[in-house]
Structure 1
Amino acid sequence: MELFGFGPHLMIDGYQANPEKLADAEMVKRVLDEMPEAMEMTKVLPPFVFEYTGARAEDAGVTGVVIIAESHIAIHTFPEKRFISVDIFSCKEFDLRKAVEYLVETFEIGRYDTYLINRGKEYPKDPELARRIVEGEREYLESRIA
């Protein structure tokens, strides 16, 4: 078990994706609805999906988010550019490869880049360690104020 770190934040930039699938708001909603359970996460609210038209056709697309107990999953699509951007942030470890493969297959992504950040690197997951850190900070502040 890791002692520190709030959790992984996986970002996926997908290129050369299927423009019809990227424009399909119902598909984006279905992905956001099914993905939490597939990743063993807890969906808190139903997905919210919005079709954006934009000032230019190339800016149009679908944006959606689902709030999970562990954090969130967000999808932004740009069918004219054949581009999709996905963020999966969780305080719980999850199968990164499975998430990427699911999205690549579903949206027929031709090429992609992934970025992974461990959020909250100083966030202690061990409650006893967290207690000692907080007590230490309080003692330090009290010594500075007195």
Structure 2
Amino acid sequence: MNALGRHILAEIYGCDSEILNDRELIEKVMVDSALSSGAEIREVAFHKFSPMGVSGVVVISESHLTIHTWPELGYAAVDVFTCGDKINPWDACNYLTEKLKASHITATEVKRGIFEQPVSVKVSNL
């Protein structure tokens, strides 16, 4: 069985609330998380909510990393989606969990684009 990508859905608990509410720091940690896994960054966009919380995305050549934080709960919802087999999404997820100073994480890996046989495309001139 072949898959186009791997998608980690992470629930990260017991995080440092000051980190979770700092847009610049969250952006740095997310970018560094992507780089630590060997990903190639394409675009970065983050937003700070009022009164608290940060959401953001790091678009990588291999797909993306996203985060939504709830500082008042010490909680972050994170997705790490990588296509191909060159990048291990767990490397990025583990790095991020450490930098958020989390007490625990629950995560699930979902295979994306599962094919029983390799995909082939035939192009013809009509």
TM-score with structure 2 length normalisation? 0.85
- Does 1:66 pair with 2:46? no
Q: Which residue of 2 aligns with 1:139?
A: none
Match of 1:85 in 2: 77
Calculate percent identity across the aligned residue pairs: 26
Unaligned runs of 5+ in 2: none
1:111-126, aligned counterparts within 5 Å? 111-122=104-115, 126=118
From the superposition, tell whether residues 36 and 72 of structure 1 become closer, same or farther in structure 2 (CA, over 3 Å).
Answer: same
| Larger helix fraction of residues | 1
Contact 1:6 1:123 in 2 (8 A): no
For 2:7, give the aligned amino acid.
Answer: H
Of 127, 130, 136, which residue of structure 1 is paired with 2:120?
130
Two-structure CA RMSD over aligned residues (Å): 2.3
Give the aligned residue type for 1:130: S
> Per-residue deviation at 1:96?
4.3
- Structure 2: distance between partners of 1:29 and 1:98: 17
Work out the CA distance in 2 between the residues paired with 1:116 and 1:11. Answer: 6
Q: Does 1:95 align with 2:107?
A: no
CA distance in 2, matches of 1:79, 1:42: 28
Query: Counterpart of 2:98?
Result: 105
| Cα pair distance change 1:79/1:92, threshold 3 Å | same
> Could you give the per-residue CA deviations for residues 54-102 of structure 1, whole angstroms, max 9, x where no partner exists?
xxx6xx3000101111111101110001100110111133334432331
Question: Could you tell me how far 1:10 is from its partner in structure 2?
Answer: 0.6
Structure 1, unmatched stretches of 5+, are 136-146
**Structure 2 vs 1, CA of residues 123 and 31 (structure 1 numbering), >3 Å: closer, same or farther?**
farther
Question: Which is further off, 86-95 or 74-83?
Answer: 86-95
- Cα distance, 1:36–1:114 mapped onto 2, change above 3 Å: same
- Separation in 1 of the partners of 2:81 and 2:108? 12
